[in-house]
Amino acid sequence: MRYSQLLLPTTKETPAEAEVVSHQLLVRGGFIRKLTSGMYTYLPLGFLALQKVVGIVREEMNRAGAQEILMPMVQPGDLWQESGRWKKYGPELLRFQDRHDRDYCLGPTHEEVVTDIARRELQSYRQLPINLYQIQTKFRDEIRPRFGLMRGREFMMKDAYSFDVDDAGANRSYEIMRQAYTRIFARCGLEFRAVEADSGTIGGSYSHEFMVLAETGEDTLVICDTCPYAANVEKAAIAPPDETGADSMRSEVRKVATPGLKQVDKVAEFFKISQSGVIKTMIYLADGEPVAALVRGDREVQPVKMKNLLGANEVEVLDEEQVWQRTRLPVGYLGPMGLGIKVVADQEVMRMVDAVAGANEKGFHCTGVNPGRDFQPDVAGDLRQIAADDRCPVCGGGLRLKEGIEVGHIFKLGTNYSEAMHATFQGSDGQQNPFIMGCYGIGVSRVVAAAIEQNHDAKGIIFPVPLAPFQVIVLNLNPKDETFCRVADGLYNDLRAHGLDVLYDDRDERPGSKFNDADLLGIPYRLTVGKTYEKEGKVELRSRRTGATEVWALDEAVAHIAGLVRQVPA
Ligand code: ATP
Ligand code: MG
């Protein structure tokens, strides 16, 4: 492609709202333009990068035996009523009516539609197993669309759904997808980990997330130093703590004035105890109802664990103002005794002895608080987030925490959807059985953003070769000179004849701005017809990643570059 003819509006300006580097660079590099909150147009370069991901995903899905289909993006509400998700899904589901007042939604995911296909088209065990996938635009009315392509409202997803006759078959289908995903992200040239994950709204018994490791990731992973255990902190289980000893020596509850002491550390300091001796009480809204969550003062509440313990669809922490409005309770002095709202406690809290907790009265805390004796939570269990000083739940080894971007998610769904929607097939015994299902998603557009989060420097993007919209950029630094044009044209044509994706910077621009744009766009190899050509009739090849430059004779340069690009495993 000739740069002079390409819609490639690079800019020095970074939108104020672009908090993360991929968002900034995608806008500055002219890859995307915002239409409205969470919705973007892919300009030519953005579309090419997206298509690189699509190509790899499609090849590996086909290689794994999945079959590509395309389902409608608009889905009838009736199907969602059948699955039970019309009520459950919440405000992320964009709902609307047609001219006959019938309910519809924009597809955030396609379990309902594909299950409807299965119950109509798959009658016999002989047609199974089968895995159907599509690559399609999804819509989720995210509460906080942000970070450009990372969390859009409209985004590109690959979603696949497997149907099996029994559990063993479903496990095999899951394993095939786990391996396909591993190949996909390796082929994209990304550093990633597969981790154990919570099953979320889609529901199901078992799941893994594929995480691209990057500091800006919205997810936190816990990774064991000694065994293969790796999990999302939302999921990482914590074993119940040991029983405490005899309780004969416990103190009585005593109310103590603690004016102005609202933080756990201040309270601990005042009572000359460690933070682990304080009960921390936080107020959340769980499906619209205020709930108090209790953890030890040195721990954090894990909201997904809380959601699961309560069987809620959504939990959200409330700030001081919101707590006051809803409950008239004084944040900073909250405690589990006499709260008057539902209480969920971490298992560790239930083992505390003579703890300090808020008195639910402004300026007062209580000492000698003993769970079980002085208060009884409505629910107790594993509520807190795992921390770096915890031990591995599998082998007891040391743990590390890392940030990650979720680019893929695979679930074993079991019969959740097939039972709700009466999707059955005839087994070899003649009986009607529900399909055992699995579902498998990849955030295709998020992969582009994640690749940039992981691969960039101060000058711009450093695309992994397999995802680069162009593999090579040819710079003609003297486009007014006929000889230069002839040489650069020749290289451009030769490189393309070798099957490479080439951007030809034939613009009449200063060399400095051509170099800057080439760096910004992150094209892996830069071939310059400039000073070296003038002096010795040779061209300069530079690697965007390493910055190393080499000088090549005209008749050798092209084959050499083709060799470099092909080194990438397919
Ligand atoms: P998240 O926790 O990030 O919201 P999710 O668990 O809701 O993700 P899934 O329902 O598993 O996501 O969707 C499959 C994949 O689609 C995710 O792994 C992710 O890569 C991608 N994805 C989900 N939501 C978005 C979004 N708002 N923008 C871009 N990609 C997304
Ligand atoms: Mg989500």
For 393-449, give the secondary structure using H, E and C: CCCCCEEEEEEEEEEEEEEEEECHHHHHCCCEEECCCCCEEECEEEEEEEEHHHHHH
Helices (H) and strands (E) in the chain, counts: 15, 31
Q: Whose CA is nearest to atom 19 of ligand 1?
A: 443
Tell me the chain's radius of gyration from C-alpha atoms: 29
- 285, exposed or middle or buried, with CB in 10 Å at 0-12, 13-18, 19+? middle
Residue 443 Cα to ligand 1 middle (Å): 6
Q: What is d(CA 391, CA 224) in angstroms, rounded to the nearest whole number?
A: 8
- What does the pLDDT average to over 391-409? 94
pLDDT tops 90 at residue 47:
yes
Residue 394 Cα to ligand 2 middle (Å): 28
Residue 212 pLDDT: 97
Residue 313 Cα to ligand 2 middle (Å): 13
Residue 40 Cα to ligand 1 middle (Å): 16
Q: Which regions of 250-314 does DSSP assign to beta strands (E)?
A: 254-257, 279-286, 289-296
Q: Whose CA is nearest to atom 21 of ligand 1?
A: 443
Helices (H), 140-291: 167-187, 264-271
| Phi (first) and psi of residue 550, to 5 degrees | -135, 155
pLDDT band, residue 43 (cuts 50/70/90): very high
Residue 177 Cα to ligand 1 middle (Å): 17
Residue 337 pLDDT: 95
Residue 202 pLDDT: 52
Least-confidence region, from 27-41, 187-201, 358-372, 414-428? 187-201
pLDDT tops 70 at residue 205:
no
pLDDT tops 80 at residue 569:
no
pLDDT in tens, 243-282: 776 666 789 999 999 999 999 999 999 999 999 999 999 9
pLDDT in tens, 169-184: 999 999 999 999 999 9
pLDDT band, residue 123 (cuts 50/70/90): very high
Under 8 Å between Cβ of 235 and 194: no
Residue 157 pLDDT: 98
pLDDT in tens, 77-89: 999 999 999 998 9
pLDDT tops 60 at residue 204:
no
Q: Whose CA is nearest to atom 27 of ligand 1?
A: 151
Residue 242 pLDDT: 81
Atom of ligand 1 nearest to the CA of 210: 18
Exposure of 189 in the CB half-sphere (CA atoms within 13 A): 22
Residue 142 Cα to ligand 2 middle (Å): 7
Pocket test for ligand 1, best of 109, 446, 448, 452 (most atoms within 8 A of CB): 446
Q: Whose CA is nearest to atom 29 of ligand 1?
A: 151
pLDDT tops 70 at residue 378:
yes
- What does the pLDDT average to over 530-541? 96
242: amino acid identity, one letter: D
Within the chain, what is the greatest distance between any pair of CA atoms?
A: 97
pLDDT in tens, 130-182: 999 999 999 999 999 999 999 999 999 999 999 999 999 999 999 999 999 99
pLDDT band, residue 241 (cuts 50/70/90): confident
Instruction: Give the ligand whose atoms come closest to the C-alpha of residue 443.
Output: 1
Sheet containing 95-97: give its strands across: 74-76, 103-106, 95-97
Partners of 410 in beta bridges: 208, 440
Pocket test for ligand 1, best of 42, 185, 211, 406 (most atoms within 8 A of CB): 406
Residue 139 Cα to ligand 2 middle (Å): 11
Atom of ligand 1 nearest to the CA of 153: 27
Residues with CB under 6 A from ligand 1: 109, 140, 142, 151-152, 155, 157, 200, 406-409, 441, 443, 445-446
pLDDT in tens, 209-224: 999 999 999 999 999 9
Residue 23 Cα to ligand 2 middle (Å): 19
Instruction: Give the ligand whose atoms come closest to the C-alpha of residue 234.
Output: 1
pLDDT tops 90 at residue 554:
yes
Residue 40 Cα to ligand 2 middle (Å): 18
Least-confidence region, from 2-11, 101-110, 385-394, 498-507? 385-394
- 304, exposed or middle or buried, with CB in 10 Å at 0-12, 13-18, 19+? middle
Residue 81 Cα to ligand 1 middle (Å): 23
Pocket test for ligand 1, best of 409, 444, 448, 452 (most atoms within 8 A of CB): 409
pLDDT tops 70 at residue 396:
yes
pLDDT band, residue 420 (cuts 50/70/90): very high
What percentage of the chain carries pLDDT values higher than 90? 91
Residue 245 pLDDT: 62
Of 424, 445, 421, 446, nearest to 435 by C-alpha is 424
